[in-house]
Amino acid sequence: MTLSLSKITADIGARVLGVNPADDLSDETVAQLRTALGEHKALVLDAPGLDVAGQERFAARFGPLTTAHPTVPGGETPHVLDVDAEISKANEWHTDVTFVVTPPAISTLRSIVIPPYGGETLVANSAAAYRSLPEPLRAWADTLWAVHTNVYDYAEPRPQRKAAEAAYRETFESVPYESVHPVVRVHPETGERGLFIGGFVRGIVGLSTTESRDVLRLLQAHVTRPEHVLRWSWQPGQLLVFDNRITQHYAIDNYDDQPRRLSRITVAGDIPVSVSGERSRALLGDSSHYSAVPADAVPERSVAA
Ligand SMILES: [Fe+2]
């Protein structure tokens, strides 16, 4: 069969037909998938019978894999992060692992257990968000930098957590990381500009907490405009692949306390680059065990001060 694409919305998302991710894919098919990902930002493939090993093989065709997470241990293999509603619900807009200097390029999510209703994943096109900004705001955003961290400051009241969720959060924050990234990132393959913010942002460099919050609210409102968002309603045995360099995502918590399990494997990314060609920097934490980091990008301070 030959690969064909079926768009899900104008701005984001396409179904991939004629490709079984469990198969040995030709270089040409992988190149076509990469091009499709650049254009549509998120791809959905039917993957009946795909197991962890198959998901790893598929993801590795797009580049070296990261380990599961900088602080959370892997599941069945060191590359797999178990996404399990029992321990954590990612119902916050975010881009994966932006608190390190080399956030993953591509995330793959494989559905295992899906609740009978709800449990959709939202994926937003942050390039469409950037384009929808009025020109003066775009020009301003081009100059801004943001500090991202895995340690939450809990300025907002903490919701009641189950013991398993509290333990997960403790592990998540067990080693503090901080990186400073451009608010507008130039995509290394397509050259497209996108807003690079999301839930791990602690603040905008040079602005007060209140000013940061207002600016982020303004920018984030463009990311989450319904026209920029794919709302994927899962079946078990599917693979969602999204370009983590130019999207944000959100797991909707609308399925009561029913089980929901997926497995995530991510492809390593490079250091983000701003519109003016400046690279992101790590401020805190050595993440080289998670994803390759050039030696000159490892911060001098690698533990909490
Ligand atoms: Fe995520």
For the question of residue 61 being annotated catalytic, the response is: no
Distance 81 CA to ligand 1 centre (A): 10
| Residue 245 pLDDT | 98
H-helix or E-strand containing 108? strand 106-113
pLDDT at residue 152, as a whole number: 76
pTM, two decimals, is: 0.94
Distance 91 CA to ligand 1 centre (A): 9
- pLDDT tens string, the chain, 305 residues long: the values are 689 999 999 999 999 999 999 999 999 999 999 999 999 999 999 999 999 999 999 999 999 999 999 999 999 999 999 999 998 888 999 999 999 999 999 999 999 999 999 999 999 999 999 999 999 999 999 999 999 999 976 555 566 678 888 888 899 999 999 999 999 999 999 999 999 999 999 999 999 999 999 999 999 999 999 999 999 999 999 999 999 999 999 999 999 999 999 999 999 999 999 999 999 999 999 999 999 887 777 776 554 43
Give distance in angstroms: CA of 285 to centre of ligand 1.
20
Which CATH number fits the domain that encloses residue 54?
3.60.130.10
Task: List the catalytic residue out of 84, 96, 243, 270.
Answer: 96
Residue 177 lies in a domain: yes
Strand order in the sheet with 14-17: 4-7, 14-17, 42-46, 238-243, 106-113, 261-267, 81-84
First to last CA, the chain: 56
Whether residue 108 is contained in a domain is answered as: yes
Distance 153 CA to ligand 1 centre (A): 19
3-state helix, strand, coil in the chain (%, to 5): 20, 25, 50
Active-site residue, 94 included: yes
Note whether residue 185 is domain-resident. Answer: yes
Residue 72 lies in a domain: yes
Cα dihedral value 63, 75, 230, 239, nearest 10: 70
Burial (0-12, 13-18, 19+ Cβ within 10 Å), 107: buried
Find the 258 Cα to ligand 1 centroid distance in Å.
Answer: 19
Domain count, the chain: 1
In the residue annotation, 96 being an active-site residue is answered as yes
CA distances from 193 to 100, 168, 283 (A): 20, 34, 24
Instruction: Report the alpha-carbon distance of residue 189 to residue 33 in Å, rounded.
Output: 13
In a domain, 228, yes or no: yes
The boundaries of the domain holding residue 292 are 4-297
Residue 304 lies in a domain: no
Residues across the chain: 305
Q: Which helix (H) or strand (E) holds 240?
A: strand 238-243
Kindly give the distance from the C-alpha atom of residue 58 to the centroid of ligand 1, in angstroms, as a whole number. 19
**1 CA distance to ligand 1 middle (Å):** 32
Q: Tell me which of 40, 69, 79, 94 is the catalytic residue.
A: 94
Interstrand relation of 42-46 and 14-17 (parallel, antiparallel or unpaired): parallel
**Of these residues, 249, 260, 270, 286, which one is catalytic?**
249
- Establish if 305 belongs to a structural domain: no
Task: Identify whether 249 is a catalytic site residue.
Answer: yes
- Asked whether residue 303 is assigned to any structural domain, the reply reads no
Q: Is 120 helix (H, G, I), strand (E, B) or coil?
A: coil
Buried-state track 183-208, b at ≥16 Cβ within 10 A, e below 16: bbbbbeebebbbbbbbbbbbbbeeee
